[in-house]
Amino acid sequence: MRPTLAIFPTQYVPTEAQMDAHNRTIDHFKQVYAIIAGLALTEACLRVLPLTGAGDFRIPMFFTLLITVVPIFHGGDRSLDVKYRNHYPQTARDRAALLWDDYMLLLTAVLFVCIAEAIPKAPEAGHAPAEVHAQWFYHWMAVMLGFDVAVLIFDRWKSRAKERVRLKPYIAWIIINSLLGLVCWLVSGMSEPKGAEMAVTLLLPFSLSVEVTLWQVSFGVFLAALLRTVADYEVEQGFLLARANRSFGA
């Protein structure tokens, strides 16, 4: 009788120590991701404080950053658990995918820091107010959201068919992040603030423009970011938060 050749190789079963080491590697990257994201929020607090009053346009900026960073951080952190925890890499492709996701998350966290650094500082006591370049905050918001959309698209494309079932929320996240990114990109083209009221001119599509205050702009973008976050947790289908009828693995 001729020996039978296996067409597909048997999947390697790691030892308990190997699986533990693999999971700890995931945890190490998640910890670095958390440290950089935490640094961004710390820097944002330092840029905003001390407050200059209830009409301080930097307050909506801070909360825009906060409510945008937290769910995106949450989704990135959970994605490593869903896709890799207790799933030992079997091939070079599996290992490359893990490293790719790790580095994309770290780059996203670095962009969190760029956004925080772009919040204008309050003028020091006894000093004349410095020029306010609030556009850079929305510029970096648009860059971060655009980068996140690109990562989500590529991540879904590179995932195998059975993995895509667990990545269904990605489609909704691509849409809502694109919409908020577009809002931030449009706002980043506003004029320099003028006068005590910090009046700015927003340039809109079709050669339209509107005169508003910087606080109104900041608060409007905050409301858009709040809607994005609410939608984020409404469409996540158990990916981020435990639900009785949903399971995404670890």
What is the reported pLDDT for 1? Answer: 46
Q: How far apart are CA 71 and CA 230, in angstroms?
A: 10
Minimum mean pLDDT among 37-41, 82-86, 126-130, 238-242: which range? 126-130
pLDDT exceeds cutoff 60 at 3 = no
> What is the span of the domain harbouring residue 154?
19-49+56-120+133-235
Task: For 164-208, write each residue's pLDDT tens digit.
Answer: 666 778 888 899 999 999 999 988 887 676 655 566 766 666 666
Minimum mean pLDDT among 25-34, 75-84, 146-155: which range? 75-84
What average pLDDT score do residues 153-159 get? 80
In a domain, 193, yes or no: yes
Identity of the highest mean pLDDT range in 51-55, 151-155, 203-207: 151-155
In a domain, 9, yes or no: no
In a domain, 143, yes or no: yes
Identity of the highest mean pLDDT range in 32-41, 73-82, 241-250: 32-41
What is the reported pLDDT for 7? Answer: 47
What is the reported pLDDT for 6? Answer: 44
In a domain, 6, yes or no: no
In DSSP notation, 15-60 reads -HHHHHHHHHHHHHHHHHHHHHHHHHHHHHHHHHPSP--TT-THHH
In a domain, 248, yes or no: no
In a domain, 12, yes or no: no
Residue 30 neighbours by CB distance under 10 Å: 18
Give the tokens for residue 204.
Answer: 């809109």
Contact 136, 118 (CB under 8 A): yes
What is the reported pLDDT for 161? Answer: 63
In a domain, 1, yes or no: no
Give the tokens for residue 111.
Answer: 């962009």
In a domain, 230, yes or no: yes
Identity of the highest mean pLDDT range in 14-28, 120-134, 154-168, 193-207: 14-28
Q: Please state the domain count of the chain.
A: 1
pLDDT exceeds cutoff 70 at 2 = no
Q: In the chain, pLDDT over 90 holds for what percent of residues?
A: 36
CA 68 to chain centre: 7
What is the reported pLDDT for 182? Answer: 94
CA atoms within 13 A on the CB side of 2: 3
Rg (CA), the chain: 22
What is the reported pLDDT for 38? Answer: 93
